Amino acid sequence: MDIGIFNAIYISRNLHYNVAGLVRRFLYFVYERLLSREIKQGPIPTHLGIILDGNRRYAREMGYDNLADGHREGARKLDTVLHWCGELDVKIVTIWVLSPDNIQRSADEVEGLFDVIKEKLEELSDNPMIRRYGYRIKTVGNVEALPDRVKEAIHRSEESTKNHGERILNIAIAYGGREEIVEAVKKSIRQKNVASVEELASCLTAEDIASHLYTCGIPDPDLIIRTSGEVRMSGFLLWQSAYSEFYFCDALWPAFRKIDFLRAIRAYQQRTRRFGR
């Protein structure tokens, strides 16, 4: 083939791909603006829960040698999503980053994940997004099961934001919903001054248990989003989510887009909440 014809074909194909990319970005921009405008007319969740799922699959799809790099991409995504929440004035955000089952993975992967969590917690201690929107960081879960380096990072992040009062960021680490309920029941029992099991059974109430949950004192989640296409809760906020709305998104967490976020909010606004009534 003549070199001139070859170059012309090459340039034509590149031009086609570039134009197609520009068109997609423009349409995305327009759609995002329309969604944002629509959503601002409706109710915004006070408490949003997010299950950050898909970091490992993202790492594999991107060809990363180290799965921890997928978790790092997921950690970076958090800043962006907190910004979106701040823009809509979501007051409370609860994210699930580590479950007791996750800790049972291979030692190398778990140590890498602990390193990512430590790095992110330290970065959040002085994060402009956290300060801009006034997020107070609170960690929920079995913190004692974590390495000292992670516990120290948790303490620093909580201390550095303890005077923030406008919004709350709950970070669920080593958190399991069943474990939380069991621990709350144990604490409730210890507070009861009763003479028999029968008396305990007759006086123990749902309010007693709720008062010992990690999230005691804040509203239950209005909406819970799970990324990565998995359609299950896996134990996230089991007690608190009794009347929550759920939204399951196919996007892996590091690839979670603003239109995915806005679609979840729109889906929440389109539902009629009955709270069991």
Amino acid at position 169, single letter = L
- 79, 102, 142, 208: the active-site residue: 102
Predicted TM-score (pTM) of the model is: 0.90
Give catalytic status of residue 53 as yes or no: yes
- pLDDT > 60? residue 188: yes
* pLDDT tens by residue, 233-250: 999 999 999 999 999 999
- Scanning the structure block, which residue is given the tokens 């909010």? 265
Q: Is 233 helix (H, G, I), strand (E, B) or coil?
A: coil
Give catalytic status of residue 7 as yes or no: no
Neighbour count for residue 18 (Cβ, 10 Å): 10
* pLDDT tens by residue, 73-87: 999 999 999 999 999
**Interatomic CA distance for residues 121 and 115, integer angstroms:** 10
**Interatomic CA distance for residues 139 and 98, integer angstroms:** 11
The DSSP result for 145-159, as a single string, is: GS-HHHHHHHHHHHH
Count Cα neighbours of 105 within 13 Å in the Cβ-side half-sphere.
15
Confidence of residue 20 (pLDDT cuts 50, 70, 90): low
**Interatomic CA distance for residues 117 and 141, integer angstroms:** 14
* Cα dihedral 148, 150, 152, 154 in deg (nearest 10): -140
